[in-house]
Amino acid sequence: MNRNESAENYLETILILSKCRPVVRSVDIAEELGFKKSSVSVAMKNLREKKHITVTREGFIYLTQTGLQIAEMIYERHEFFTDWLIRLGVDPQIAAQDACKMEHVFSPESFEAVKKYVLSTEQKDGGAANC
């Protein structure tokens, strides 16, 4: 998979929006990310060409299987890193911002190693606080 932070962010946003809305449209993505609709339209065209999304005639955006896999991978990383940083005492807003950067740069191998280490450490310590 060719890593593209911008594309990954769009796919993650589509996934998140699809969890709380019956349909996702370009305008929803633009609002969520604070981008111009024209910028989002260009990005959606690129994601469609890469077959990561489909767009209906009505403008409803759906993740394809490959798009969903990428979005879920990025979302899992985002949630994991945010939660971990908060547990380490980082302010939640800063933790979320840092997680957004970290989620894109870790290789699958490094992410799995960090996740395994953190989870095993938590088990040894009797679990994490506030779980």
| Predicted confidence (pLDDT) per residue in 54-85, tens digit | 999 999 999 999 999 999 999 999 999 999 99
pLDDT at 131: 28
Span 21-50, mean pLDDT? Answer: 95
The answer to whether position 131 is within a domain reads no
**Domain co-membership, 79 together with 113:** yes
| Count of structural domains within the chain | 2
The CA distance from 109 to 101, in Å, is: 17
Q: Residue 98: which domain range?
A: 73-124
- Model confidence at 112: pLDDT above 60: yes
CATH code assigned at 17:
1.10.10.10
82 burial via Cβ count (<10 Å: 0-12, 13-18, 19+): buried
CATH code assigned at 105:
1.10.60.10
The answer to whether position 103 is within a domain reads yes
93 burial via Cβ count (<10 Å: 0-12, 13-18, 19+): exposed
Q: Domain end: 69, 97, 114, which one? A: 69
Instruction: Using a pLDDT cut of 90, give the percent of the chain over it.
Output: 86
pTM equals: 0.85
**Domain co-membership, 55 together with 88:** no
**Domain co-membership, 64 together with 116:** no
CA-angle at 104, arms to 56 and 72, nearest 5° = 45
pLDDT at 9: 95
**Domain co-membership, 57 together with 81:** no
pLDDT at 4: 87
**Domain co-membership, 46 together with 97:** no
> What's the 3-state SS for the chain?
CCCCHHHHHHHHHHHHHHHHCCCCCHHHHHHHHCCCHHHHHHHHHHHHHCCCEEECCCCCEEECHHHHHHHHHHHHHHHHHHHHHHHCCCCHHHHHHHHHHHHHHCCHHHHHHHHHHHHHHHHHCCCCCCC
**Domain co-membership, 77 together with 120:** yes
pLDDT at 125: 64
pLDDT at 3: 61
Instruction: Using a pLDDT cut of 70, give the percent of the chain over it.
Output: 92
